[in-house]
Amino acid sequence: MRKIKLLFLVFLAPLLASAQQVTGDWYGLLKVQGMELPLIFHITETEGNYSATMDSPAQKAFGMPVSSVTFIDGQLDLQIANIGAQYKGALSDSKIKGKFYQANQSFQLDLSTEPIAERKIVRPQEPTKPYPYYAEEVSFSSEEGEVTLAGTLSLPKNKENFPTAILISGSGPQNRDEEFMTHKPFLVLADYLTRQGIAVLRYDDRGFGASTGDHNAATSADFANDVKAAVRYLKNRNDINPEKIGLIGHSEGGLIAPLVAADIPMNFIVLLAGPGVTGEQISIQQIELLGKLKGADEQDIKNEVAVMQGIFELVKNNEENMETLKNKLEVYIGHQMEKNKVVIEGMSTEEYIEKQIAQLTRPWLLYFLNHDPRATLVKVECPVLAINGAKDVQVGPSNLEVIKKALLEGGNKKVTVKEFENMNHLFQICETGSMEEYAQIETTMEPLVLETVSSWINKQN
């Protein structure tokens, strides 16, 4: 489920001891999983207190705040709470050398005041204007007006009574293009579908891009409420047929779509690498699939699974008492680190454990671990298309049969399931399926998949 999501970052702070100027703009390239993500940090100082914002131009994310900044003896410690990340660096000779920490991994990130020349990335499927269809910037409210979601609605030209698809992104904060690893899957998908006579609404996740709200405090159920708000918005438009609205969910979006369809009658839903089992089981599947992919010893994989299962048991049995849960996690993780002689580069054991606990007690993860998609799939009555890549290591193809079984058990006979050979989580033709390949592949989404989705939707209408 896009577990290891390269999200965003950080800010930068000052060095008074060396009298070097650190206010202003700083530029760096975050090198992760076969790609380079440009970042810009804007640093200001007021009465000795520093603050900053961060831009990630490639992901159209600007003005992202940093939750806390400390600077002691030339060392920077930057906390980015809303994405569970940290940056540590040292200022010397007008440069900052450091590392970015997230999801139990560290990535080199050096900064300087010299702007980085934009590198042209070839993505042949991304459309260019003018489009052969209408594209309208829209916004709508969710959670009784507390959240405003901003997006793009693309409408076919010279066609009436067309079906409309709402795109639902995977885990982590996503923009309306579901931009990830230098690809824009939802931009490509929306463009293709609209050219085939299907309207598409895609929007920035709450708390991201141009949408308001707090992404870090939300669960899949909250994101399902946002989708319901999108449905209500479309039904109030004169140019949309309210009886022909459907959902397309990718990854976690494939968990959210059935949540919505179980409550609101939909014309169709499409599950792109959607989970069929609990988040706990998905997490175990990921450990096993990634371990095999990396050639890990079978016993080592079993040991890692056992450690994670121990963590999940603590979470499930103590989530009603958060203080007790945090204390037990601190003891358990510390014991496992000592037992397995785990050392985290650039971070103390205490810091590492603290960050693990913060991630494991997030509302989103608590919901995800416990939610069983089968409970909502059995309630879905509309036509369903579920597809997966055979080399997907984030949501394995074994989920397809679970999804199919649950739908059939609920009495739904309008079920189509398809597994695509040699494709990964983004539905690209790949060698191994590893995340490191995503950015290296020119194709954003295989044409065969795009055609499969569009033709299936049109057959329902």
- Report the CATH number that the domain containing residue 29 is assigned in CATH: 2.40.128.120
Using alpha carbons, select from 453, 276, 460, 282 the residue that is nearest to residue 381. 460
Crossing angle between the packed helical segments 279-293 and 363-370, to the nearest 10 degrees: 90
264 and 303 part of one domain: no
State the Cα–Cα distance between residues 322 and 313, nearest whole angstrom: 14
In a domain, 123, yes or no: no
Q: Hey, how many other C-beta atoms are within 10 angstroms of the C-beta on 18?
A: 11
Cα dihedral 397→403→409→414 (10° resolution): -100
In whole angstroms, what is the distance from residue 166 CA to residue 197 CA?
Answer: 14
pTM: predicted TM-score of the whole model, two decimal places? 0.80
322-339 vs 298-318: helix crossing angle, rounded to 10: 160
Pairing of strands 384-389, 269-272: parallel
Domain hosting 391: range is 133-277+372-460
Q: Are residues 211 and 342 in the same domain?
A: no
Spatial contact of 54 and 8, defined as CB atoms under 8 Å apart: yes
Regarding whether 301 and 273 lie in a shared domain, the answer is no
Query: Which regions in the chain score pLDDT beneath 70?
Result: 1-22, 33-35, 59-60, 71-74, 81-84, 103-104, 118-119, 345-346
Nearest CA to 251 out of 165, 373, 422 is that of 373
CA distances to 265, 322, 394, 452 from 4, in Å: 34, 25, 9, 28
The reply to whether 126 falls in a domain is no
- Radius of gyration of the chain from its Cα atoms, rounded to whole angstroms: 23
- Clarify whether residues 337 and 387 are in a common domain: no
**Using an 8 Å Cβ cutoff, are 39 and 30 in contact?**
yes
Task: Mark whether 314 and 381 lie in a shared domain.
Answer: no
* Residue position matching structure tokens 């993780």: 333
Q: How far apart are CA 421 and CA 417, in angstroms?
A: 13
Q: Give buried/exposed letters for 253-286 (b at 16+ CB in 10 A, else e).
A: bbbbbbbbbbebebbbbbbbbbbbbbbbbbbbbb
Task: Establish if 9 belongs to a structural domain.
Answer: no
Strands (E), 325-426: 384-389, 415-420
Report yes or no: 418 and 448 within 8 Å, Cβ to Cβ: no
Same domain for 258 and 182?
yes
The gap from C-alpha 159 to its chain's centroid, in whole angstroms, comes to 34
**CA–CA separation, 134 and 315 (whole Å):** 48
Give yes or no: residues 164 and 192 share one domain.
yes
In this structure, the answer to whether residues 456 and 308 fall within a common structural domain is no
Domains held by the chain: number: 3
CB 201 within 8 A of CB 134: no
Q: Is residue 191 classed as helix, strand or coil in its secondary structure?
A: helix
- Whether 177 and 186 have beta carbons less than 8 Å apart is answered as yes
Considering 112, 143, 174, which residue would you say is the last residue of a domain? Answer: 112
Query: Residue 1: inside a domain, yes or no?
Result: no
pLDDT at 8: 31
Q: Is 74 within the bounds of a domain? A: yes
- 263 shares its domain with 411: yes
CB proximity list for 203: less than 8 A, separation 6 or greater: 138, 149, 150, 151, 152, 176, 211, 226, 230
Residue 272: what residue type?
L
Q: Is residue 330 part of a domain?
A: yes
* Residue 88, φ and ψ in degrees, nearest 5: -125, 130
Q: Tell me, yes or no, whether 179 lies in a domain.
A: yes
Same domain, 252 and 395: yes
pLDDT score at 20: 47
The residue type found at 417 is: V
Q: What is the DSSP letter of 20?
A: B
What is the C-alpha to C-alpha distance for residues 192 and 86, in angstroms, rounded to an integer?
A: 38
What is the structure's pLDDT at 34?
62
Bridge partners of 337, per DSSP, are: none
Q: Are residues 262 and 326 in the same domain?
A: no
Out of 354, 380, 395, pick the residue that ends a domain. 354
Domain match, 250 and 388 both: yes
Q: What is the pLDDT of residue 351?
A: 83
Let me know if residue 11 belongs to a domain: no
Percent of the chain, pLDDT > 70? 91
